[in-house]
Amino acid sequence: MVVAEMSVSLDGFGAGPAPSPEDPLGKGGMDLHEWVFRLAAWRGPHGLEGGEIDVDSELVEESQAAGAVVMGRKMFSSGTGPWEGDPNANGWWGDEPPFRKPVFVVTHHAREPLVLGETTFTFVTEGVEAAVDRAGGAAGATGVHVSGGADVIQQCIRAGLVDVLDLHVVPIFLGDGRRLLEGLDPARLEVERVIAAPRATHIRYRL
């Protein structure tokens, strides 16, 4: 199973405008993830103690249960990061990335796999289908998690690769930025689950 998951503002943005090295998710973009950052389920894998446990926690735990991750190049190492112009930079994730499973990065830049702590990043230059296929082989029955950004999620939806779309609709307007769902083909989806929480409405769609 392939699950694409992302937080989105009520007005449809997956990141804010004007991303910069200091503000890589764009203006207001961090607010999309506040519902996660405060949770013990997120803090633990990031090497942080404490945190809250509530209805939002199980959403984070579910996405962590996938056996492999697919992400875009910017989510691995944004072109606007402090390593701008260095195609072999090690990205956002530090010496001990929180994934601890195989991660497949969709990129145009061929590169040897990168091992950081318990996470191996494999760089796939043949497009999203190849990335999801390789992730599926690594994940087996546990499923593949397409983590973003918006570009990769759109490409995966357009290619018919996504079984489940998990959206966390955050009650903010960003006003501008990167739209999460754009340029898709008309389609009907099935609402599989809705979990209401103050910081986000979690809706699971089956494509």
Stretch that binds its own copies, among 9-17, 44-52, 98-106, 144-152 (CB under 8 A): 9-17
- Which of residues 93 and 151 has its CB atom nearest to its own copies in the complex? 151
- Which of residues 36 and 174 has its CB atom nearest to its own copies in the complex? 174
Exposed, middle or buried by CB within 10 Å (0-12, 13-18, 19+), for 112? exposed
Distance from C-alpha of 5 to C-alpha of 16, rounded to nearest angstrom: 17
Residue 175: which of 26, 22, 23 has the closest Cα? Answer: 26
- Which of residues 89 and 181 has its CB atom nearest to its own copies in the complex? 181
**What are the beta bridge partners of residue 39?**
52
Residue 31: which of 55, 43, 15, 47 has the closest Cα? Answer: 15
- Which of residues 144 and 150 has its CB atom nearest to its own copies in the complex? 150
Rounded least distance, CB 140 to its own copies, Å: 29
Interface with its own copies includes 38 (CB under 8 A)?
Answer: no
Interface with its own copies includes 23 (CB under 8 A)?
Answer: no
Contact 10, 19 (CB under 8 A): no
- Which of residues 40 and 207 has its CB atom nearest to its own copies in the complex? 207
Residue 80 region, left (φ>0) first, then alpha (ψ -120 to 50), else beta? alpha
Rounded least distance, CB 19 to its own copies, Å: 15
Interface with its own copies includes 205 (CB under 8 A)?
Answer: yes
Interface with its own copies includes 203 (CB under 8 A)?
Answer: yes
Q: H/E element holding 61?
A: helix 57-64
- Which of residues 140 and 175 has its CB atom nearest to its own copies in the complex? 175
Residue 102: which of 140, 155, 61 has the closest Cα? Answer: 140
Number of residues in contact with its own copies under rule CB under 8 A = 32
Angle between helices 128-139 and 150-158 (to 10 degrees): 90
Rounded least distance, CB 180 to its own copies, Å: 8
Binders of its own copies among residues 141 to 200 (CB under 8 A) are: 167, 169, 171-175, 179, 181-191, 194, 196-198
Residue 159 region, left (φ>0) first, then alpha (ψ -120 to 50), else beta? alpha
Residues interacting with its own copies, by CB under 8 A? 10-12, 27-28, 31, 167, 169, 171-175, 179, 181-191, 194, 196-198, 201, 203, 205
